[in-house]
A and B are shown apart, each in its own frame.
Chain A
Amino acid sequence: MITAFTDPFDALLSLQRALEARTTSDWLRDHSASQGPFPPINVFQQGDDILAIVELPGIDKDDLQIQAKENTIRISGRKTMKYPDGSVHRRERMFGDFDRTLSIPIQLDPDGIKAEYRDGVLALVLPRAERDKPRNIHIS
């Protein structure tokens, strides 16, 4: 759990370690179209809700589609090439189409899903369905 943020350097290191420790998580194993397709996704818990963070630098917002159905989210789109003029010295960036579906193993409220694309990072807020939230059980 990432809670302590005293020293900013420590904070980054502990965040990196926390992420590292979760790379073998099987939380989505049976629900995502295998690990590895583009774009890479990290899933976090934020209170009751789920937050999916996707690295997608250099995408035009109009070329990005997000669909939600029940607990399944589909992220598809296209990263178009914009080659500047001149001779190529280095070409490491990749362009093309992508289409990825992930199913979240909890009940979502599809109407409450919010998407924000900023600085090349897509953040999807996936609120847990009201009926899926834990309830306090009154002990009589």
Chain B
Amino acid sequence: MPEQELLVQKKREHESRDESTVPARIFVPTADIYETPDALNVILEMPGVEKTNVDIEVKDGVLRVDGRIDLSKYRGLQPLYVEYNIGHYARTFQLSNKIDQDKIAAEMKDGVLSLLLPKAEEAKPRTIRVN
């Protein structure tokens, strides 16, 4: 893919099946997902989220990622001109592979979360030899 001029991606609001008790809006982080024979690589953009404010959970074949922004940084600021809204982030993915939960690796850098979800042994592709 050639390098291109960047466009603004409008933030998508998170729609949950369960209604949230928190009235504030939650946004969906943009994501890239890659699959290798051994693992799933999930990359999520959550600008403004510190690594200590990220929760990652795999349960019943669903990956859920939550990221909370630090509101205190906005204390005492008066908005003059606004192009984007801010809020916490949440996104869930239905995983098609069995994941080895103990070996999930996560790295947060410059607002980008990289998750490496190693596939469980039985989920790895096997080469079948034809006799």
Name the interface residues of B18-53: CB closer than 8 Å to any CB of A.
22-25, 30-36, 40-41, 43, 45-50
Residues in A with CB closer than 8 Å to B72 are: 5
Residues of B within 8 A of A (CB): 1, 3-9, 22-25, 30-36, 40-41, 43, 45-50, 71-72, 74-88, 109-112
Closest 8 CB pairs of A and B: A120-B111, A57-B111, A120-B47, A86-B36, A86-B34, A44-B77, A38-B6, A12-B24
Q: Which residues of the other chain, B, contact A96 by a CB distance below 8 angstroms? A: 3-6
**Stretch touching chain B among A87-95, A107-115, A130-138:** A87-95
Count of inter-chain pairs, beta carbons less than 8 A: 186
A50 adjacent to chain B (CB < 8 Å): yes
Tell me whether A57 and B76 are in contact in the complex, defined as CB-CB below 8 angstroms, given that A89-B33, A98-B6 are known contacts: no
B74 CB to closest chain A CB (Å) equals 6
Further contacts, 6 of them, CB under 8 A, given A27-B81, A98-B5: A15-B86, A39-B6, A43-B80, A86-B36, A94-B9, A96-B3
